[in-house]
């Protein structure tokens, strides 16, 4: 008997009708003799709605209470889906992350899964029940509710699939697979039948929200067969897989972008040993993650130091820089939260020169100014003004021949 973990995202459970349709889909698979664990997200818009409520009360809400609040979104869906299954005579039982139990660390709002106790789930599956689990949440050693960061239901699903040694983990969403870029930005994007874990990891970490990065990490580490499919239509979706020698190796497999970044610069910093740490240590001390970093040396023995952070951390990072500016003997702090990062990703890049220059030429031909650049073995990222996002993505998509045939 095969064991499947199916995850249904926000849009897929966005209304009572959708929840009923999901229940039918699950029942059909169960009737074929499969064991099913269904992981659910909050109904679409709910996590944002709850976040909005919290911010009306506290501009920077208490993280522990935020987790208590946000976990309710998934709890609503799990019970409704379980009811919908009962209604069509499919035995089912729903559990919160804490009930399962999904043990995490105590990093509220971005907790990591440590261990899953699958005894309860297995017992239910053996009794022929569908087990519905609230995604995105867990519990720490002290019994506090935790959440796994935005998009975290993907990770719940993959982690459960790993713990249960499931045959496959299906991520059902509102697109029918992983595309060469977000099809909402480039309608000519092409669906990929397969993508390597390595490339998917880069795409996810560079902003493609179709899968949470930790879900991809988990799947790669624990060898979970992972597939992204549409919950609305039939199809094979996209398989995330290990690199196979016969796999057709495109130069570039995809374009990712991230609208959530902001850029901060401190200019005229005396060019002395220890300057970078003096700037970045206070930022790290406040738990702010830094992404790209650039330091330029000027003729007058000063440097300009630029880095990017998540837009949520922008105001806090700006304040820290303003506070240390005069102590450092620096000139001024300039900031910009209207930038985006666009990245091209592909394992084929390893063996080919000239990809970066092609990318820069394409952007230049469109009159797009590049503000920052960063490269690694299988990706090149640039920071540009946010108004150029669509133009840049489409131009690159075309230049690297990613369009549908």
Query: Residue 11 binds which entry of ligand ADP, ligand ASP, Mg ion, none, with Cβ cut-offs from 5 to 8 Å by kind?
Result: ligand ADP
From 252, 256, 254, 189, select the one nearest 403 (Cα to Cα).
189
Residues that bind ligand ASP (CB under 6 A): 9-10, 41-42, 47, 73, 135-136, 150-154
Binding mask 6-25 for ligand ADP (x = CB under 6 A): ---xxxx-------------
Q: Does 179 bind ligand ADP (CB under 6 A)?
A: yes
Question: Do 90 and 29 form a contact (C-beta atoms < 8 A)?
Answer: no
Query: Which whole-number Å values give the CA distances from 34 to 1, 28, 82, in the listed order?
Result: 6, 9, 17
Sheet with 302-310, edge to edge strand ranges: 290-297, 302-310, 261-270, 332-336
Shortest spacing between CB 44 and ligand ASP, in angstroms: 8
Q: Which of these ranges, 4-12, 286-294, 299-307, 331-339, lies near Mg ion under the rule CB under 5 A?
A: 4-12
- The two tokens of residue 220 are 């790669």
Q: Does 41 bind ligand ADP (CB under 6 A)?
A: yes
Shortest spacing between CB 97 and ligand ASP, in angstroms: 11
Shortest spacing between CB 43 and ligand ASP, in angstroms: 9
Give residues 77-96 in contact with ligand ADP (rule: CB under 6 A). none
Q: Does 202 bind ligand ADP (CB under 6 A)?
A: no
From 111, 159, 114, 154, select the one nearest 135 (Cα to Cα).
154
Q: For residue 280, give the 3-state DSSP assignment.
A: helix
Between vectors from CA 132 to CA 12 and to CA 43, what angle results, nearest 5°?
30
The residue sitting closest to Mg ion, measured at its beta carbon, is 151
**Which one of 82, 208, 253, 265 is in contact with ligand ADP (CB under 6 A)?**
208
State CA 220 to chain mean position distance: 15
Burial class (CB in 10 A: 0-12, 13-18, 19+), 108: buried
Query: Residue 178 binds which entry of ligand ASP, Mg ion, ligand ADP, none, with Cβ cut-offs from 5 to 8 Å by kind?
Result: ligand ADP
**Which one of 73, 138, 151, 220 is in contact with Mg ion (CB under 5 A)?**
151
Q: Does 220 bind Mg ion (CB under 5 A)?
A: no
The residue sitting closest to ligand ADP, measured at its beta carbon, is 9
**Which one of 73, 97, 138, 151 is in contact with ligand ADP (CB under 6 A)?**
151
- Cβ atoms within 10 Å, residue 93: 20
According to DSSP, residue 12 is labeled G
- The two tokens of residue 258 are 């991230």
Query: Residue 198 binds which entry of Mg ion, ligand ADP, ligand ASP, none, with Cβ cut-offs from 5 to 8 Å by kind?
Result: none
- The two tokens of residue 349 are 């890049």
Whole-angstrom Cα distance, residue 32 to residue 188?
A: 36
Query: Residue 184 binds which entry of ligand ASP, ligand ADP, Mg ion, none, with Cβ cut-offs from 5 to 8 Å by kind?
Result: ligand ADP
Helix, strand, coil distribution of the chain in percent, nearest 5: 40, 25, 35
Query: Residue 34 binds which entry of ligand ADP, Mg ion, ligand ASP, none, with Cβ cut-offs from 5 to 8 Å by kind?
Result: none
Q: Which of these ranges, 8-16, 119-127, 138-146, 362-370, lies near Mg ion under the rule CB under 5 A?
A: 8-16
Which stretches of the chain bind ligand ADP, using CB under 6 A?
Answer: 9-12, 41, 151, 173-175, 178-179, 181-182, 184, 208-210, 254
Which stretches of the chain bind Mg ion, using CB under 5 A?
Answer: 9, 151
């Amino acid at each position: 008997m095969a064991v499947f973990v199916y995850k249904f995202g926000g849009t897929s459970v966005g209304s009572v009708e959708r929840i009923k349709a999901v229940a039918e889909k699950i029942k059909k698979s169960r009737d074929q003799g499969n064991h099913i664990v269904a992981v659910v997200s909050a109904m679409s818009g709910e996590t944002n709605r709850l976040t909005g409520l919290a911010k009306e009360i506290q501009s920077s809400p208490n993280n522990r209470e935020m987790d208590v609040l946000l976990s309710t979104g998934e709890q609503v869906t799990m019970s409704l889906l379980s009811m919908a299954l009962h209604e069509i005579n499919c035995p089912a039982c729903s559990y919160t992350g804490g009930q399962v139990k999904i043990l995490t660390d105590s990093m509220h709002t971005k907790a990591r899964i440590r261990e899953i106790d699958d005894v309860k789930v297995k017992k239910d599956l053996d009794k022929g029940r569908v087990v519905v689990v609230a995604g995105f949440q867990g519990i720490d050693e002290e019994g506090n509710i935790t959440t796994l960061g935005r998009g975290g239901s993907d990770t719940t699903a993959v982690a459960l699939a790993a713990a249960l040694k499931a045959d496959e983990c299906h991520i059902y969403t509102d697109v029918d697979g992983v595309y060469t870029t977000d099809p909402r930005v480039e309608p000519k994007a092409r669906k990929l039948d397969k993508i390597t874990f390595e490339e998917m990891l880069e795409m996810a970490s560079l902003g493609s929200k179709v899968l949470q990065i930790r879900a991809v990490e988990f799947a790669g580490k624990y060898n979970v067969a992972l597939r992204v499919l549409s919950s609305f239509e039939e199809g094979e979706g996209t398989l995330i897989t290990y690199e196979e020698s016969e796999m057709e190796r495109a130069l570039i497999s995809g374009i990712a972008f991230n609208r959530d970044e902001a850029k901060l610069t401190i200019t005229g910093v005396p060019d002395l040993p220890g300057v970078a740490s003096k700037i970045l240590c206070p930022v790290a001390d406040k738990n702010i993650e830094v992404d790209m970093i650039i330091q330029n040396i000027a003729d007058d023995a000063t440097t300009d130091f630029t880095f990017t952070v998540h837009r949520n951390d922008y105001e806090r990072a700006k304040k820290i820089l303003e506070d240390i500016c005069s102590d450092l003997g620096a000139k001024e702090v300039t900031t910009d939260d209207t930038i985006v990062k666009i990245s091209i990703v592909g394992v084929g890049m390893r063996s080919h020169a000239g990809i970066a220059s092609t990318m820069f030429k394409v952007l230049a031909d469109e009159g797009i100014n590049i503000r920052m650049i960063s490269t690694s073995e299988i990706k090149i990222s640039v920071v540009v003004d946010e108004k150029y996002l669509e133009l840049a993505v489409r131009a690159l998509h075309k230049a690297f021949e990613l369009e549908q045939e």
